[in-house]
Amino acid sequence: MSNDTPQIRQKINVCVFISGRGSNLKAILEACENPNFPARVSCIVSNKPDAGGLEYAQQYKIPFAVISHKDYTNKQDFEQGILDALTHEPIDLICLAGFMRILSPYFLTRWGDNIINIHPSLLPKYKGLDTHARAIEAGDAETGCTVHYVIPEMDAGEIILQRSIEITKNDTLTTLAQRLLGEEHFAYPEAIKAVVEQKFTQHYEPKLDLSLTNTTQGKQDMTDKEVLNGHKEMWASFTNTMKFGTLSIIVLLILMALFLL
Ligand code: GRF
């Protein structure tokens, strides 16, 4: 195995935020069923009690929380309500999938750059709503979807990946949205994979490739158990050296005594 190979051993924990039908959530859940996919969905958050996507939480037996913005008098309390709910499950990455609330810096700074979103346009074109109508109206030859990191400025974070489709002259809002949704379902799992490979690789144990322990990278990736075993080996080799040294001195003393006699 080369040292450049991402050393993914364990799945990262993803929390998916939804507000509606949850077809992207379903695509992520299906991708996670593959043992080689580097993520699992550890929980789901919806700001709408009647979001269709919540049925997948039940189907896949994933813990979920409904935190309705309507139950709070201000945005900060609503976001604090979500933050509190998030403490119950392990989460490495938040995936917004049709989550229709804009998260404020209050929330975002608590998650650093570990929040991503899917947007139905080829950003930076058409930030915000009605992306398909705007693309058709502008006479664009293509449109697409973008998975990007979330920053306080809406739909403006670093792009992780995009997929595009042609806009044909027969396309209506419905046909375009439908075709693009199919692309989104490929894009989101691909983007999660890319994020894990970019950001999370070093958090996980390396594969048991002994050649790695001779490199800086290997040492950084050693688990506590491996470090402990290393210490034990050093101690064993030290005591062996001591035993050998003591024996040599005794033999030397005997030889000297015999010589003097
Ligand atoms: C998708 O088109 C996504 O790009 C946008 O909201 C829609 C969510 O659809 N952000 P679904 O709930 O995942 O089916």
pLDDT (average), residues 37-56:
98
Catalytic (active site) residue 119: yes
Write the secondary structure of 28-50 as one string of H (helix), E (strand) and C (coil).
HHHHHCCCCCCEEEEEEEECCCC
Q: Which residues pair with 6 in a beta bridge?
A: none
Range of the structural domain that residue 84 is part of: 12-220
SS3 181: helix
Residue 202: per-residue pLDDT: 59
The confidence band for 257, taking pLDDT boundaries of 50, 70 and 90, is confident
Burial 62-71 (b: 16+ CB within 10 A, else e): bebbbbebee
What CATH number is attached to the domain comprising 190? Answer: 3.40.50.170
Centre of ligand 1 from the C-alpha of residue 65, in Å: 19
Q: Which residues pair with 93 in a beta bridge?
A: 14
CA 29/CA 189 separation, integer angstroms: 9
Whether residue 8 has pLDDT greater than 60: no
Is the domain of 16 the same as that of 36?
Answer: yes
**Phi and psi torsions of 52, nearest 5°:** -55, -35
pLDDT digits (tens, 9 = 90+) for 56-69: 999 999 999 999 99
Whether residue 35 has pLDDT greater than 70: yes
Ligand 1 lined by 184 (C-beta under 6 Å): yes
Is the domain of 126 the same as that of 248?
Answer: no
Ligand 1 lined by 146 (C-beta under 6 Å): no
Residue 101 lies in a domain: yes
Is the pTM higher than 0.85? no
Is the domain of 152 the same as that of 241?
Answer: no
Residue 242 lies in a domain: yes
Q: What is the CA radius of gyration of the chain?
A: 28
Strand 93-96 relative to strand 12-18, pairing: parallel
SS3 16: strand
136 in Cβ contact with 176 (< 8 Å)? yes
Residue appearing with tokens 């070093």: 202
Is the domain of 46 the same as that of 119?
Answer: yes
Closest CA relative to residue 220, chosen from 234, 230, 232, 206: 206
Is the domain of 126 the same as that of 98?
Answer: yes
pLDDT digits (tens, 9 = 90+) for 80-127: 999 999 999 999 999 999 999 999 999 999 998 899 999 999 999 999
Please state the atom number of ligand 1 nearest to the C-alpha of residue 23: 14
pLDDT digits (tens, 9 = 90+) for 210-250: 222 222 233 333 333 333 344 344 444 444 555 566 676 77
- Number of domains the chain is built from: 2
Q: Which two tokens stand for residue 213?
A: 């322990």
Choice between 138 and 244, residue whose per-residue pLDDT is larger = 138
pLDDT digits (tens, 9 = 90+) for 168-216: 999 999 999 999 999 999 999 999 999 999 888 755 443 333 222 222 2
Residue 97 lies in a domain: yes
Is the domain of 137 the same as that of 176?
Answer: yes
Is the domain of 186 the same as that of 252?
Answer: no
Is the domain of 250 the same as that of 215?
Answer: no
End-to-end alpha-carbon separation of the chain, Å?
63
Residue 51 lies in a domain: yes
Residue 160: per-residue pLDDT: 97
